[in-house]
């Protein structure tokens, strides 16, 4: 093929991609959600999928496939046809899994296109009101006195709630048992039933329980207090200086989706996130905006993979 024919072919492919993106979507779009219904990822994600159904004039379906820290959902997404009609909705746990699992059935960087983040929120350290733990210092003292006796839930191995726990153990120099669940709903159920001592609950999943007095909020994980729980102190101001951890959520596509479609989805994230009703609902659930271009998000994802690797290595957690 001569040079002129190659250029003509490239122009033809580019034009076809542009037309495809202009029409996209022409059928229902499936979002593989990495955690169960009722999880923070699911709650935030459904606000967007509902808005996109309205914006796109096509049904946007949330397909929850929990397990293995979200890697089950990610594996399903990589096997999909790269046409933009199957996408992955995951949390910050997506950037932890490369350091946590020795043999993932995909390459986190090579097999996905980073499209954009949806929002971020603090985790809230909660316990059952029947326990004697009222402050972070109460937890640290108990864990120091009897190492390995306190049970701390997570939304699954490799989830943001798990990494949050490992960071606390590392910075406070304490040891607690990690009890992984499939998602926030299951973890919270055992806090409510007083079958597990603590959980770093995403604020969106536990806010009503805190406000209703069904769980006790000990501290929030971010460096600043939450505007919707202003009386709950941060971990940093509770005796662990510099502690800061937030849970974030994003959208990925399998590698091979045409760039014009990636751009259109990224623009749709921005448009939906800027809708006053969506903004108000996200804020009411303790979320903060997290706007990035696909290029900025790709850079952020890579930095988060490094952060996750550093925390897990310092905590002595080897790939499984």
Q: Give the residue ranges of the chain where pLDDT is below 70.
A: 1-20
CB neighbour burial string for 231-245, b if at least 16 within 10 angstroms, e if fewer: ebbbbbebbbeebeb
> What single-letter DSSP state applies at residue 317?
P
For residue 198, what pLDDT is reported?
A: 97
What is the pLDDT, as a whole number, of residue 10? 41
Q: Is the pTM of this model over 0.95?
A: no
User: pLDDT tens for residues 33-74?
Assistant: 999 998 999 999 999 999 999 999 999 999 999 988 899 999
**One fold for both 3-120+247-314 and 122-238?**
yes
Residue 4: the pLDDT is: 59
CATH 3.40.190.150 assigned to domain 3-120+247-314? The reply is: yes
HSE toward the beta carbon, residue 313, CA cutoff 13 A: 8
Q: Which strand (E) or helix (H) includes residue 90?
A: strand 86-91
Helix, strand, coil shares of the chain, percent, nearest 5, are 45, 20, 35
Q: What is the pLDDT of residue 6?
A: 41
Alpha-carbon distances of 18 from 13, 53, 83, rounded to whole Å? 9, 21, 13
pLDDT digits over 251-294, tens only?
A: 999 999 999 999 999 999 999 999 999 999 999 999 988 999 99
pLDDT of 69: 87
In the prediction, which pLDDT does 53 show? 98
Would you kindly state where each structural domain of the chain is located, as residue ranges?
A: 3-120+247-314, 122-238
What top-level class would CATH report for the domain 122-238? alpha beta
């Amino acid at each position: 093929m001569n040079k002129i024919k190659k250029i003509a072919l490239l122009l033809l492919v580019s034009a076809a991609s542009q037309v495809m993106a202009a029409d996209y979507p022409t059928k229902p779009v499936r979002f593989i959600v990495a955690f169960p219904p009722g999880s923070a990822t699911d709650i935030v994600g459904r606000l967007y999928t509902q808005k996109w159904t309205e914006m796109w004039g096509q049904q946007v379906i949330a397909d929850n496939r929990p397990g293995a820290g979200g890697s089950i959902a990610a594996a399903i997404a990589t096997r999909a046809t790269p046409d933009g009609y199957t996408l992955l909705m995951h949390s910050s746990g997506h950037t932890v899994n490369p350091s946590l699992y020795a043999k993932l059935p995909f390459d986190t960087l090579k097999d996905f296109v980073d499209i954009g983040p949806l929002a971020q929120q603090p985790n809230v350290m909660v316990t059952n009101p029947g326990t004697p733990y009222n402050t972070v210092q109460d937890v640290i003292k108990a864990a120091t006195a009897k190492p390995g006796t306190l049970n701390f839930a997570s939304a699954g191995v490799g989830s943001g709630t798990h990494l949050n726990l490992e960071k606390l153990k590392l910075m406070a120099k304490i040891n607690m048992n990690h009890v992984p669940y499939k998602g926030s709903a299951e973890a919270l159920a055992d806090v409510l039933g007083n079958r597990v001592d603590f959980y770093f609950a995403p604020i969106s999943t536990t806010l009503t329980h805190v406000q209703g007095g069904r769980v006790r909020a000990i501290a929030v994980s971010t460096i600043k207090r939450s505007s919707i729980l202003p009386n709950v102190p941060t971990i940093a101001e509770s005796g662990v200086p510099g502690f800061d951890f937030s849970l974030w959520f994003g959208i990925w596509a399998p590698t091979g989706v045409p760039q014009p479609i990636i751009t259109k989805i990224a623009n749709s994230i921005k448009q939906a996130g800027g809708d006053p009703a969506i903004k108000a609902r996200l804020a009411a659930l303790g979320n903060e905006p997290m706007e990035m271009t696909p290029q900025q998000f790709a850079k952020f994802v890579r930095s988060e993979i490094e952060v996750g690797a550093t925390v897990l290595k310092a905590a002595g957690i080897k790939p499984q």
